[in-house]
A and B are shown apart, each in its own frame.
Chain A
Amino acid sequence: MKFDIFELVGNQEKVMDLILEGIKKAFYLLITFDPEVMKITLLSLQVSGTATFVSLLIGISIGVTIALSKFPGKRIVVSLINTGMALPPVVVGLFVTIFLWRNGPLGFFGILYTPTAMIMAQTVIATPIVMGITLAAIQQLPQKLRLQILSLGATRLQMVWILIKEAKLPLLAAVMAGFGGVISEVGASIMVGGNIKGYSRVLTTATVMETSRGNFDIAIALGIILLLLAYFINLILTQIQQRERPR
């Protein structure tokens, strides 16, 4: 294969041009509040935000419970949860689709190709992530801490709450990991959502579509907007995570 330095440099320029086009497009779409882009950005936030919230409730409550209990087969359960963190999103999407088919077991809900279905699939993806990291976060706390808290007169419920506050740093990392996993997810979202314009189209599915249409500048712009969205959400979450407890 010939190695042409001019072609190489020329190609770099073409790539840089394309990325610059994308950045310019991203600014333009945001400054003008392009209605379609606003709609898909808001939907991304709503769907992934709700999914993360639900997975937070399920993941932290079950994660804490398992971490604090002793039972035979605990190791196996924990490794199953940890394996759940590696669940391929597209496989989750496939299974949720089959369940939600009209003629499938949950078909009577009629929610295939809706944002609700997307929330369901994303919750399935995010919950093991939140659960697994919560488990490790709680197990990490010194054993004696539990006894100390109980000996000071706390009820079991109060003790659990204090332990959660003690593990605030890794628990918020768990939430951010869960959110990161689903805001960036595309395989399940396309399958169960259908990428329907103005209804179930989100930033990731729109990016795939624009790429397959060859509209690379729009695709890059959407990618940049997605990154900005993820950054701002994580900025808020990090603030909460890093805030010093009043002493």
Chain B
Amino acid sequence: MRITIWGALSLLFFLGLTSAQPQPKTIILATTTSTQDSGLLDVLIPIFEKKTGYFVKTIAVGSGQAMAMGQKGEADVLLVHSPAAEKKFVAEGYGINRRIIMHNDYIVVGSSEDPAKIKGMKSSSESFKKIAATKTLFMSRGDNSGTHAKEKVIWKAAGINPEGQRWYQQTGLGMGQTLNVTAEKKGYTLTDRGTYLALKKNLGLDILVEGDAILLNIYHVIEANPTKWPKVNAAGGKAFADFMVSKETQEIIRTFGVDKFGSPLFFPDAGKKEEELGK
């Protein structure tokens, strides 16, 4: 008797779950944790789904992992911010129609004590040189994300290899958590402005270096190449990419974050050339 009751209950359970099955038109969007954490996608995705009837599975991982997914044909469209790796991705034939969507910028943050005295410096690579010279703690994402890639570019510009040095630590975590670890240990780190603004209230880190041209953080949308991976939802990927560059979406991006943080988190750039971007 009891078995039948349990059986019935579990059947109800399972039925309840199957009702949550995806609609036939599904798109896998591989994107970065910073785009998801900013909350922008929570606004844009429902609009897109309502408009087109697609069901979007947003998988937020680092840019590196997002492109690895694209390379294996496990994602239909990518929204990432790691330009050098993206160019390689497209050159190797894994992605098509790489289009610019928006940008914001990176900033170097640290405790107000600023032992390396980098506050107000104009050049991020020079500030990195000072951090290395004073051997002050620097926290790196260390996860092949777009932020990590940018950080490596700046170290290269500074002519320094920080790998293996005691003051250079890699968390392997997302931006929010890395910021928390940095604040806890009173170190320095490179972060995108959006995540910093979102966490600023409880964080205890100050903006020390900003505005350097190299600190531009540019987001592109890339569709997975269906000739390489036939199982890719090419139409869905294109629909999403087209949506991201559309006038209405770009307008939403332009004002996103103003009410909550006082300034927009992203600057829309669809149709522009990468070289034109500036402050």
| A73-81, A87-95, A210-218 - the one binding chain B | A210-218
Taking CB atoms, residues of chain A closer than 8 Å to B135 are: none
Beta-carbon contacts of B202-245 to A below 8 Å, as 1s and 0s? Answer: 11000000000000000000000000010100000000000000
Q: Smallest CB–CB gap between B44 and chain A, Å?
A: 12
Q: Determine if B202 and A214 form an interchain contact, defined as CB atoms under 8 angstroms apart.
A: yes
Taking CB atoms, residues of chain B closer than 8 Å to A59 are: none
Q: Which of B22, B72, B198 contacts A114 (CB 8 A)?
A: B22
Q: Is A199 an interface residue (CB 8 A)?
A: yes
Taking CB atoms, residues of chain B closer than 8 Å to A103 are: 72-74, 229, 231
Docked Cα-Cα span, A134 to B181, in Å, equals 43
Taking CB atoms, residues of chain A closer than 8 Å to B270 are: none
Docked Cα-Cα span, A197 to B45, in Å, equals 10
Beta-carbon contacts of B1-35 to A below 8 Å, as 1s and 0s? Answer: 00000100010011011001110001010000100
Residue of A nearest to B173 (CB): A212
Q: Determine if B17 and A214 form an interchain contact, defined as CB atoms under 8 angstroms apart.
A: no
Q: Is B126 an interface residue (CB 8 A)?
A: no
Taking CB atoms, residues of chain A closer than 8 Å to B22 are: 114, 199
- Which chain B residues in 158-185 approach chain A with CB under 8 Å? 173-177, 179-180
Beta-carbon contacts of A107-140 to B below 8 Å, as 1s and 0s? Answer: 1001011111001000000000000000000000
Q: Is A222 an interface residue (CB 8 A)?
A: no
Q: Determine if A216 and B57 form an interchain contact, defined as CB atoms under 8 angstroms apart.
A: no
Residue of A nearest to B21 (CB): A114
Q: Is B251 an interface residue (CB 8 A)?
A: no
Docked Cα-Cα span, A116 to B10, in Å, equals 14
Q: Determine if A101 and B72 form an interchain contact, defined as CB atoms under 8 angstroms apart.
A: yes
Q: Is B40 an interface residue (CB 8 A)?
A: no
Docked Cα-Cα span, A53 to B60, in Å, equals 30
Docked Cα-Cα span, A101 to B69, in Å, equals 10
Q: Is B136 an interface residue (CB 8 A)?
A: no
Q: Determine if A46 and B13 form an interchain contact, defined as CB atoms under 8 angstroms apart.
A: yes
Q: Determine if B17 and A50 form an interchain contact, defined as CB atoms under 8 angstroms apart.
A: yes
Docked Cα-Cα span, A110 to B59, in Å, equals 15
Q: Determine if A213 and B176 form an interchain contact, defined as CB atoms under 8 angstroms apart.
A: yes
Taking CB atoms, residues of chain B closer than 8 Å to A43 are: 20
Docked Cα-Cα span, A122 to B176, in Å, equals 28
Q: Determine if B57 and A212 form an interchain contact, defined as CB atoms under 8 angstroms apart.
A: no
Residue of A nearest to B42 (CB): A197
Q: Smallest CB–CB gap between B82 and chain A, Å?
A: 19
Docked Cα-Cα span, A113 to B60, in Å, equals 12
Q: Determine if B10 and A212 form an interchain contact, defined as CB atoms under 8 angstroms apart.
A: no
Q: Determine if B13 and A113 form an interchain contact, defined as CB atoms under 8 angstroms apart.
A: no
Q: Determine if A211 and B177 form an interchain contact, defined as CB atoms under 8 angstroms apart.
A: yes
User: Footprint of A on B, CB under 8 Å?
Assistant: 6, 10, 13-14, 16-17, 20-22, 26, 28, 33, 37, 42, 57-60, 72-74, 173-177, 179-180, 198-199, 202-203, 229, 231
Q: Is A102 an interface residue (CB 8 A)?
A: yes
Q: Determine if A119 and B17 form an interchain contact, defined as CB atoms under 8 angstroms apart.
A: yes
Q: Is A196 an interface residue (CB 8 A)?
A: yes
Q: Smallest CB–CB gap between A198 and chain B, Å?
A: 9
Q: Determine if B202 and A216 form an interchain contact, defined as CB atoms under 8 angstroms apart.
A: yes
Q: Is A195 an interface residue (CB 8 A)?
A: yes
Q: Which of A46, A102, A114, A211 contacts B74 (CB 8 A)?
A: A102
Q: Which of A47, A119, A194, A211 contacts B57 (CB 8 A)?
A: A194
Q: Smallest CB–CB gap between A161 and chain B, Å?
A: 11
Q: Report, nearest first, the 7 A-B pairs whose CB atoms are least far apart.
A: A214-B199, A212-B176, A212-B174, A113-B57, A194-B59, A102-B231, A53-B10
Docked Cα-Cα span, A195 to B37, in Å, equals 13
Q: Determine if A214 and B20 form an interchain contact, defined as CB atoms under 8 angstroms apart.
A: no
Docked Cα-Cα span, A101 to B231, in Å, equals 11
Q: Smallest CB–CB gap between A120 and chain B, Å?
A: 12
Q: Is A223 an interface residue (CB 8 A)?
A: no
Residue of A nearest to B16 (CB): A46
Q: Smallest CB–CB gap between B255 and chain A, Å?
A: 21
Q: Determine if A214 and B231 form an interchain contact, defined as CB atoms under 8 angstroms apart.
A: no
Q: A46-B17, A50-B17, A102-B231 are in contact. Are A214 and B180 (CB under 8 A)?
A: yes
Taking CB atoms, residues of chain B closer than 8 Å to A119 are: 17
Q: Smallest CB–CB gap between B22 and chain A, Å?
A: 7
Docked Cα-Cα span, A50 to B26, in Å, equals 25
Q: Determine if B229 and A49 form an interchain contact, defined as CB atoms under 8 angstroms apart.
A: no
> 12 new A-B pairs (CB below 8 Å) besides A102-B73, A196-B59, A197-B58?
A50-B14, A103-B231, A114-B21, A115-B20, A116-B17, A119-B17, A194-B57, A196-B58, A199-B20, A213-B198, A214-B180, A214-B198
Beta-carbon contacts of A216-231 to B below 8 Å, as 1s and 0s? Answer: 1000000000000000
Taking CB atoms, residues of chain A closer than 8 Å to B17 are: 46-47, 50, 115-116, 119
